[in-house]
């Protein structure tokens, strides 16, 4: 028996795979499907099979589910760049909506009836509350956010149509840090890689706006360590495998949030590189604060913030490419 991890060669997916392997539970043995469009084959641990394929390939998905006697799926594959999705909406919908639909079809054909879905805080858009909960209205502002919300709807509707199908969706915000040697965030758009790249190239990191209505004037966001996130994916998978009923959606949030300037200060302290960040104008559409509670996930998925901001920065810096 195995669990299929789609996108398991990516930054978050590889940490989920590692967490599954680390359980030592044969019932949670991972198999990875990844088309390597943004993932890295070397992120997949030795001994874990990597199927180099797109989740849009129905035949390969059916074959993989059958051949490996898959009992559940942790679905992380997708096009994850919210800003770019505005310029490439059709690609985003093909990868994230049609891809999820194809995967669900393959699961139906093979009798696989459990899914943990990687959703996103982008489903909320720009919430007008200080603390986002699972009941905060969704109002996505990009094709990416819309595609993730549709993914949640697909799971909901399949569960209505297919008795026995169980699922949960995990919405997360800003995932950072590293939980393994050589595992790093290679996104060209995320804050930590942008800061590290600037430092490696001798440039000064940049803050976009310091006149927000926050304690230090810079945007406040929810930053969570990737290993903490991976742990709750494994707990969700195990609970579904045990036949437990979970909520349809969970936020994996800190409840507090960290400002961009606090991150810059932590990077300066951890790396020993003295710099004063440049301050540019605000980016259009950036809200002052987005922070979520993680109370439901703490209750059901053993969710906890086990890593400090310094831990997040130090582990990310140690694993980041320096060349």
Give me the active site residues, please: 144
Task: Give pairs for 77-81: CB < 8 Å, separation 24+.
Answer: 77/6, 77/7, 77/10, 77/13, 77/33, 77/34, 77/35, 78/7, 78/118, 78/147, 78/148, 79/144, 79/147, 80/38, 80/120, 80/144, 80/187, 81/144, 81/187, 81/189
**The token pair that represents 91 in the structure block:** 């690609």
| Residue 255 backbone zone (phi > 0: left; psi -120 to 50: alpha; other: beta) | left
DSSP per-residue string spanning 42-88: GGSPTTS-EEE--TT-HHHHHHHHHHTTEEEEEE--S---HHHHHH-
| Residue 77 backbone zone (phi > 0: left; psi -120 to 50: alpha; other: beta) | beta
For residues 256 and 71, give the distance between their C-alpha atoms in angstroms, rounded to a whole number: 36
**The token pair that represents 21 in the structure block:** 């392997």
């Amino acid at each position: 028996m195995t669990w299929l991890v789609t996108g398991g060669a990516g930054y978050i997916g590889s940490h989920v795979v590692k967490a599954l392997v680390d359980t030592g539970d044969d019932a949670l043995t991972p198999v990875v499907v990844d088309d390597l469009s943004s993932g890295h084959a070397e992120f997949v641990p030795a001994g874990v099979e990597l199927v180099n394929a797109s989740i849009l390939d129905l035949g390969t998905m059916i074959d993989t589910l059958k051949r490996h006697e898959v009992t559940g799926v942790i679905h992380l594959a997708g096009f994850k760049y919210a800003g770019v999705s505005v310029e490439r909406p059709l690609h985003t919908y093909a990868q994230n909506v049609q891809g999820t639909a194809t995967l669900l079809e393959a699961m139906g054909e093979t009798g696989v009836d459990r899914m943990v879905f990687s959703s996103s805080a982008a489903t909320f858009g720009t919430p007008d509350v200080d603390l986002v909960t699972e009941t905060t209205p969704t109002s996505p502002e990009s094709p990416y956010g819309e595609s993730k919300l549709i993914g949640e709807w697909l799971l909901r509707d399949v569960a209505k149509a297919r008795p026995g199908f169980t699922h949960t969706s995990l919405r997360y915000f800003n995932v950072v840090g590293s939980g393994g040697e050589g595992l790093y965030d290679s996104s060209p758009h995320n804050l930590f890689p942008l800061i590290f790249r600037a430092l490696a190239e001798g440039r000064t990191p940049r803050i976009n706006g310091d006149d927000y209505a926050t304690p230090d004037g810079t945007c406040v966001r929810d930053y969570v360590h990737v290993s903490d996130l991976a742990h709750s994916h494994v707990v969700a998978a195990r609970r579904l495998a045990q036949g437990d009923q979970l909520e349809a959606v969970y936020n994996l949030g800190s409840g507090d949030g960290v400002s961009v300037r606090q991150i810059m200060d932590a990077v300066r302290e951890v790396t020993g590189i003295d710099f004063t960040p440049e301050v540019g104008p605000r980016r259009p559409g950036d809200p002052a604060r987005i922070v979520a509670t993680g109370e439901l996930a703490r209750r059901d998925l053993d969710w906890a913030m086990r890593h400090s901001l310094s831990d997040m920065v130090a582990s990310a810096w140690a694993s980041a490419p320096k060349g």
